[in-house]
Structure formats: C-alpha cells, structure tokens
Structure 1
Amino acid sequence: MSENSGEVKTPDTQMILHQARAAFLRNLPKGAETFLSAGCAGRWFFDWIEWTYGKTKTHIGVEFYCPKPDDLQDNVTWIANTCSDMSDVDSKSCDIVFSGQNYEHLWPNELIGFMLEAARITREGGLLVIDSPNREITEALNWTHPEHTVEGTPDEVVEAMHYAGFDVTAKKGIWLCRDGEAGRTLTFGASEQFGWSVTERLVAAVERPQDSFIWWVEARRSGRDPDRQKLADLLNGVFQKAWPQRLRRTQSEIGSKCDKDGNPWFQAPAGTTGALMYGPYAPLRPGRYVCTFEVDVANTKNGQSALVCEALSFSRTTKLAQQEVSTNGRRLVKLDFTIDDLLFGVEFRCITNGSADVSCRAYVDLVEYIA
C-alpha cells in the first residue's frame, strides 16, 4: 500500500491485545531475580518477557503441552509439567509468577492446584500476575477458543487470589468491548463502534476490566495461609455455573434464529444445505460422553435422510459419533462416545441436505462420565 493510496488498513485486533499486554509487563516493578512463567509456548515467549519486563537472573518456564525449545537463553530453566504441579520449584523462591493467558486453559482441579502452588513458590511480598479473557464479554460475543475450558471474570480471580493468600494491588482491562452506560456490546474487531474509536477503546479499558475483553490482575503474596476449602468451593462453583454456557456457544451457517418453548433454535427451509448448527469448539477430558441434540423435521419424503447429527474433533479428522435423521417430527438424537485423551475443540454439528424443512435446538445437552 503506497503512502498516498488513500487506503486505510484495518488494525489487527490480536496484535493490539498482544502489545497492550506487553505495555503492562513493562510497568511491572523491576528488580525481580526469579521470574516464573506458568505456560510458555516457545522461545518467542522468553524473548518477549526479556524485551518487555527485562532480563532476570533466572527465568523458570513451566510448560506441559509444548516441547522444550533447543535454543533457550542461558538464564532459562524449563520444567516440563503442569502448572498445578510445580514441585520442581523451591518454596518462596519466586519474585514474580506470571500466568499469561493460561488461566482459561485449566480445568477446576488444575486451577485450584495452580493457585495453591503459586502461593507456595512466591516469596512474601512477591507478585502474582494473571491475565485472561473475561467471560462476561466472551459470553456476550459468543466467542470461543478450542483450548479454553471456561474463562474467568475479574471479580472471580480477585476472590480466588484472596483465598490463595494474595492481596490484589492492581486490576486493569484491555480492549473495551462493552459500553456499560448504553448497555451495548462492542464487536471484537478493531474498529470504531458506536462512536468509540480504537484508541478510546484501548485507553478506557484500563480502568474498566469488567467491560473489557481481557482482565489483568496483580497481587502481592501476603503472610496468610491459603484457605484451600474456600478456594476449591469458589472455583468448582464457577465451573459448574459456566461450563453449560460454554457449551452453548454455537452458530449456524444457514439457519435463522427462532424460539421454541423458551429455548433458542435454528431453522432452515427445504432446499437449504449446510451446517444448521455447529460449535462450540470446546476441550473435553478423557471419559465417556452422551450428547443430546433436539431436532424437528417436516416434509421429508420416502424415508430420505434429512439431517445428520455428529460429534467430531476441531480438525474434523476424528469423527466421534454420528446419526442420521430420516423421519418427520420432533425428536431427541443421542450420541454416545468415548475420548481416551484430552481432545481440544470438540464440535457438535447438525447438517441438512436440503430435502426437508428442518430446525435444531441451538445447543446440545452433554453428560460427562469422566474417566
């Protein structure tokens, strides 16, 4: 694009978020000797911390899902483990513990373990820093990520930090996505919305974490022992409340929204083909599952298949279960399948071939029998 072309390049929202997080890292108190990163996907991550916060005497990286890079810096110690088990890290040895975009990847038992381990390894007065997408916003946007369990809210993480033995010192937001006064949700994309410019959305977000796509919370390790029971009750309760909604983040490729018995449905007339319902692209733990679709078919002829309900992996290379629907009327379709290993981004789909008028409830019911 030439300087005089008159074209306006749309800002990259992901880059805006990354750079805003970098700015907050730059503002953390300097002087840490031991910096621990809970979740550190590769060499680039350590470069990023050094470029923003600065080089520390020791940088510990705890990572379970990515292999150890071959060319790590000389101050890096790589620990191949989950952040709920940091037994290789000495107690009270860390000045800063940073959980960057990691909180939302954890299952409840892992999250409880991480908060307790963070309390153990952080020296008194040391800093725990966590940032994550805000569930209040991801729900409003119907936004999903194949590796996310449930996102937290700013209030929830503040309460969790207190029960873990930390005192919150800062709570900030990145990327305003809700105009609270007008009661409007702003889209995720980096554009002007309802008079809010990109710059205003960035600046206003800092003081409005509840209305922002990402919250950022900093807390100092106090002398209090963690309250394990209250921490577990809080985080288990959050998951039980939020997981069913997480599974409702579906979309339709061809259908229009309608209401049946107070529930959202997608509907499409005969002659329309494609995904009537798809999503939510959620991770599932090993175990047995039964997912239930509710569908309604009209005007199908001669026992011809009208719908296919299926469960499959995010890459669509692994089909977990499938069932055809070839009769008229409203019915439940149950798929029973087993997962042997953690599977990211499971998708439930209801596909129509256009041979009938069809509708499908906009979400599935999922029963888990965890291994």
Structure 2
Amino acid sequence: MKQTGETRSDSRVTLDNVVVHPGPNGSVHVVASVERTWTQTSPDDPESRSGPSTRGVVQPIESTISIHVFDRCGNVTEIQAPLPRYQDGTDGYDPCSGFVDPDGTQHEVCQDLGGAAGSGGPTGTKAWNALKKCANGGCRSELFGWDYSTKGIVFEAGAVLIWAYNGFASSPLKASEWSAYTNVKPTGSFGKSKVDKFVLNNLRLEIKTSVTISSLVLAPGISWPPSASVSESGQTGSLSANAEAGVRGIRIAPVKFSTTCDDLFCGKANRLKHQATGTLSLYEQCKSNPSKPKDCKIVSHNISIQTKYWWAETVWPLNYDETDGGDT
C-alpha cells in the first residue's frame, strides 16, 4: 500500500452472532462473527470505496479487536487485543471454525452438540461438553461438565487425556497425560448463614475417569499405570479419588500409559473412549439450626460425561477435531 500510495481510513470492526459458553475451570469461551470494513483511497482513484477484506492485506498500523468477556454474575469486561492473524476467503477458511488457541489452532464449534450445545453453545443448568483437538502429531481430549441446579453452589467436573499414535500396530499409543478434577464453589452470599456453613463443611466430593481402547481385531496390550483399576478385558482403565468432608476440590495427578504389541497377531488401537464422573453429596433441606447430619437430607448430584469414541490416530487423515455433549 505504501508503494502504491494507497491509504485507508475509518477502519471499523463489527461483531455479530456472539455466543458465550462456559469452559473448564471457570473459563468462558466467546465466539463471534467478525467483519472489518474501511475506506480506501488511491492516488489514481480519488473516490473512496469501502468493503470487507478480500485480499488478506492488513493495515500498516497494528489492528486490534475488542473481546467482551461475560462472567456468571452478568458483568462484562472489554479487552483490547491485537488480532492473532489475518485471513480471507482464499486462505481455506472453515466457517465452522470457532475459537483459536494461542498456537493458532482452530476448533470447530458449529457441529451439533446434543443437549448441551449446538450452534448456540452449551445451555442449561446441568450439562457437559467434550472436545478432541489435534495439532503437531498429538491429540487432546478435554471433558467439562457442570451442575448449577443448587442455589449458591457451582459444581464442576472434568478430565484431560493427551496422547500420540501414528496408527501402526507395531507402534505404541502413548498417553503423556491422563488426569481429572472436580470442584465446588459457593456463589453470591452463600456460606454466610449457619445452615450454609454446615452444608459447605459437610459436603463430599468424588471424581472418576476412565479410558477404553477399542480395536477391530485382536486388541493390543495396554501398560496401565499402577494407580489405575483395570477391567477384566484389560481394555478399560479407570482412576478415582474422593475427599474428606468439607474439601471443595479434587485433582487426580496426571499419569501416563501406553499400548504394547508383543503378540504377532495383535491389532492396532482404532478408537478410544474418554469418560468422567463427578459426584457431589450435599446436605439439603436442613432445619433452621442444623448441628448434626440427621437435621438435613443428603442429596447426591452427579456429572456423568459419557462421550462417543474418538479416533485414536493422531495423524492425517483421522486427526480432525471432534466434539460431543449432552445433559448430565
């Protein structure tokens, strides 16, 4: 532009179709359609023209975008950030592309996500979503579920699985991280009254996560970590943990595992199922001044994340992003 003498003015960014949905650990994802317009003037054409970018050429000054973050209390925070990259129709843009990681990886959000989500994102007081995203020869499965049905209580649970696998039976599937978490957070003024304090001091949490590896032929052996419980078939491993009364968060420390192929006829890992279940036991419907458990009724809340099978291969052509979701 500088060489041709062209200039741009009145640059504007318009946000449309803004969708907000919760992410793990209290994070919030905001997805929107972004349109940039400007007035461009050329020495050979003094008349101004305006329109959206069609050639992927950016302004000589750093462009920024306003990011609006919504929290659960209805507050809005505006963040001015530089645009992470510039694209146009010739760059192979996927209209289903949703949010972008700092490494530039795009993640699909427009696929139907069942009861928890869809084109409008996850909704409801009890639901879950799951995302498998792949980059640089590896894949990450991230599960997140929530239960906000108890007034004053935010109950969340999730799990993470990171692995690499080239699809050959003679090569192991290597999981570099397998972990899970659950937590409870009081909101608003909950926790100030005697009843609320009794409820918080006596709640109990439990978290469980499992991985099942599927094969179309004879399944490969799996070297599960010592802390895992293994099914009779040997194809499903699970991790679990529970906490003492009043503990508001559990995190299962990350462990590793891999497949083995010592048999001449063993098959390869075709798919894997990643699941998690969080359980919260609360004393509810308490008397006005509870002092012991029998003064209340115990109620169990469950976040059960039962995903479909993900493709095990983390290389082309099966290393595409996948999503799933539903009601808890």
- TM-score normalised to structure 2 length: 0.33
Say which structure, 1 or 2, has more relative contact order (CA 8 Å, 6+ apart): 2
Of Structure 1 and Structure 2, the greater helix share is in 1
Q: Greater CA radius of gyration, 1 or 2? A: 2
- TM-score normalised to structure 1 length: 0.30
